[in-house]
Amino acid sequence: MIPVSIQVRQALGKLVLPVLLLLSVGIIIAGQADRRLADTARMYVADALAPLWGLIAHTQTDVSHLVQGVKDARHLAEENAKLQTENAKLRRWYDVAVSLARENDNLKTELHWVPEPTPAFVTGRVVADSGGMYARAVLLVAGTTSGVHVGNVALATNGLAGRVTEVGPHAARVLLITDIASRLPIELESSHATAIMAGDNSPMPRLMYYPQDSRPIEGERVVTSDQAGAFPMGLPIGTVHYLHPGQPVVQPFVQLDKLTMLRVFDFGQSEIEPPDAPGHVPLTRPHRPLALPFKTLLGQGQEG
């Protein structure tokens, strides 16, 4: 290496920028003077540098993949440790659930428990948000030929959607729980208090007529009640939410504006009839005399 003094280095450093500028101007002028020559030179330079650019790009991609792989490996290690902890907790809960299930079966056997009949159901596709006389209702491709009847309960994958109000041979209309005409008895799962859930055409129905000493709690689960005999007990509906103080509403589990499939259940609530009480005297319709034609009555009056 040739020794160079500091003054020479400083002079060369000051000359680099002007030389590069002059070179650039010269290349531009040469390119304007002979475009064909400039294009040919440019392609030669591009062909010569293409392998270098490809090597740089490939190296950059490999480095990016390597860095991402290290990040993924660290994330997988953390995720694996988290899953192992959750798996251990779930295993303990699984053992508890198996023990409780066995105990429940033994108690049912000792009490001679009569199981409830399994409800029949059909699954249909929601084809239109056609409400008819209702603002919040859907049309289902399943009718009387499929076993659907008025009063059947419509369930989505994660909760109650509504109830069948009209039915034809091949279609049925389901009134959603958010419609203003919807009223159904519910139960607050934590406090076991009963109330009425009333739709108002908004995404979240209102809670009404709940006990004043047992107000709904934010986030409390809401399920159906069998008080009116229209719904079975315990169907999930949603959770309690307060839009404003003192105005509880229900946030449904089901996204009612994105329904594609519904299952229509026949729980047979209308078939459950209470037995007659001892000493009960059935009411009989009073005997009414046969009405005679007006002309006959008129003739009898003339004979009298």
Domain map (residue ranges) of the chain? 63-114, 119-263
pLDDT confidence tier of residue 268, bands split at 50, 70 and 90: confident
Distance of CA 303 to the CA centre of its chain: 81
**pLDDT tops 70 at residue 67:** yes
Q: Quote the tokens at residue 265.
A: 């259940």
Q: Rounded CA gap, 206 and 243, in Å?
A: 10
Query: CB–CB of 224/234 below 8 Å?
Result: yes
The answer, yes or no, to whether residue 33 has pLDDT greater than 80, is no
Q: Over the stretch 141-192, which tens digit does the pLDDT of each residue have?
A: 999 999 999 999 999 999 999 999 999 998 999 999 999 999 999 999 988 8
Assign 131 a pLDDT band (cuts: 50, 70, 90). Answer: low
Instruction: Specify the CATH number for 119-263; select among 2.40.10.340, 1.10.3470.10, 2.60.120.560, 3.40.718.10.
Output: 2.40.10.340
Closest CA to 264 of 128, 171, 134, 179: 171
Distance CA 233, CA 208 (A): 19
Q: Which residue has the higher pLDDT, 250 or 246?
A: 250
Note if the pTM is more than 0.85. Answer: no
